[in-house]
Amino acid sequence: MSSNSKTFESTLDVSVNGCAYRFAADTTLAELIGRLGHTPDNVATALNGEFVARRERAARVLRDGDKVTCFQAITGG
C-alpha cells in the first residue's frame, strides 16, 4: 500500500493598495515590503488604516484579511 501524504502550506489573503495577494501564514509586514520589491527606507506603511513605523514592521505578523497600504513618504520643506 502506498502512502500519498501531501503537505499543505498555510496561507493568508491580504489586500495591498486594493490588490489581492496570498502569502505564507507567518509573513511579517517587513517581509511583504521586500517581496513586493519596495525599498524599506522609501515606503511608508499602514496596516488596517493604522500607520506602522519601519522599526515595527518585522514584529507585525499579517493576518488573513488584513489591508496594507504602501505609499511613498513625502519629505521636504
- pLDDT tens string 62-77: 999 999 999 986 766 6
In the chain, what is the straight-line distance between the N-terminal and C-terminal CA atoms, in Å? 73
At residue 15, the pLDDT reads 98
From 22, 67, 75, select the one nearest 46 (Cα to Cα). 67
Q: Which amino acid is at 42?
A: N
pLDDT tens for 20-68 read 999 999 999 999 999 999 999 999 999 999 999 999 999 999 999 999 9
Task: Locate the domains of the chain by residue range.
Answer: 11-71
Q: Does domain 11-71 have CATH number 3.10.20.30?
A: yes
pLDDT band at 3 (very low <50, low <70, confident <90, very high): low
- pTM across the whole model: 0.82
